[in-house]
Amino acid sequence: MNKSRPTLQIVAEKAGVTKMTVSRYINNPKTVAKATGARIQAVIEELAFIPNRIPSMMAHSKSHAIGLLIPSFSNLVFSDFIKGVEDEAKKFNYNVLIVHTGYDIHEEERQISTLLSYQVDGIILTEQEHTELSIKRLKAAKIPVVEAMGKYDNPINLCIGLDHELISYLAIKGLIEAGRKEIAYFAVRMNKRTNDRLRGYNRAINEANLPSHIYSMSEHSNFTLGSILMRKALKDVPNLDALYCTNDDVAVGAMIELVNCGISVPNQISILGFNGLNIGQATTPKLCSIKTPRYEMGMLSSKMIIDKINSGVCMPTSNFGVELTEGSSLKTNEIEIIKQRLLQMQ
């Protein structure tokens, strides 16, 4: 039994063409006659041939690959972002190598080293905190690096994202203007994005001289945590009239607990989520949530890297705006006021 992998030469001989023709077909099928390309493709599929990209990478100093670091594959927030990155990359024949970091900056450091060892042409980061060694390696690599999904005061290279503190500040200001006085904030995982939202909450609450009701857990997000935090808040704050949650998982869990307790949403307690996940449109009542443009941020992240590679320039760093999803976990006047507040980010 021949244990060696099929080679470019074997494909060329079986297809009746030169190695150069097979190589041109693999790199750009449009450069080969349609009938010849179909014959080569049939042989590739018959032999289960996988091109060896290393010689091309060494010759051109390019891998035609972008590295993408994701902190969680189970968090639906990142699925839209990943799709945006991949859709844009495919337009320019780039591959996306996705690695998991588990919200651990040291695991991120290890994965950055791995991606750089594969000579990726650019890297996209989705967390805001990195080790000193990670930053040093990324700068030394001399490749485009995009930090996405947050606000970055001192970016490594390129950045796009959201000002989570400002978004939260404006949303809580809206609730206060609508008449809510006892507003709680539910936080989980306590990463930088969550803490930025917490700062926005505190800023609005302090400006209005209202009591602060913060409930947090360090565990990863799920519906059960929302229910646990809701029970505690109801016990501690008898007059609780509004709830702002760091994400939709927590908001949905809290809302289920309120419904089970016979508490009317939004007549007694309004609920505002964050991220605008589809799960919020399947609840009763439907969850009002701050919808983030994750797909668009993913697409722009890829575009910035590819533009930088191809032309040496790309669009300026920018922050995205957000909008409010349709729902009935807020009163009508609250929805209108918060929408107007969020428009200030445009």
Q: Which residue has the tokens 């949905």?
A: 252
Which two three-digit tokens encode residue 197? 């939202």
DSSP conformational letter for 315: P
Measure the CA–CA gap between 249 and 226, rounded to whole angstroms: 7
- Does residue 226 sit in the same domain as residue 215? yes
Contact 328, 288 (CB under 8 A): yes
Flag whether 253 is in a domain. Answer: yes
* Helix, strand, coil shares, percent, the chain, to 5: 50, 15, 35
CA 172/CA 180 separation, integer angstroms: 9
225 and 287 assigned to the same domain: yes
Q: Which sign does the torsion angle of CA 128, 131, 133, 136 carry?
A: positive
Domain co-membership, 181 together with 276: yes
Same domain, 218 and 114: no
Q: Which domain holds residue 153?
A: 63-162+294-319
Q: Are residue 307 and residue 273 in the same domain, yes or no?
A: no
Q: How many domains does the chain have?
A: 3
Task: Give the pLDDT of the chain (346 residues) as one tens digit per residue.
Answer: 445 678 889 999 999 999 899 988 987 888 899 999 999 999 998 988 887 765 555 555 577 899 999 999 888 889 999 999 999 999 999 999 999 999 999 999 999 999 998 889 999 999 999 999 999 999 999 999 999 988 888 889 999 989 999 999 999 999 999 999 999 999 998 888 999 999 999 999 999 999 999 999 988 888 999 999 999 999 999 999 999 999 999 999 999 999 999 999 999 999 999 999 999 999 999 999 999 999 999 999 999 999 999 888 777 666 788 999 989 999 999 999 999 999 987 6
In this structure, the answer to whether residues 258 and 170 fall within a common structural domain is yes
Shared domain check, 29 and 124? no
Q: Residue 151 corresponds to which tokens in the numbers above?
A: 């606000």
Same structural domain for residues 260 and 243?
A: yes
Q: Tell me if 58 is assigned to some domain.
A: no
- Domain of 76: which CATH number? 3.40.50.2300
Q: How many residues does the structure list for the chain?
A: 346
In a domain, 224, yes or no: yes
206 inside domain = yes
Same domain, 304 and 259: no
Rounded Cα distance, 252 and 222, in Å: 9
Dihedral sign for Cα 221, 225, 229, 234, please.
positive
Residues 28 and 177 in one domain: no
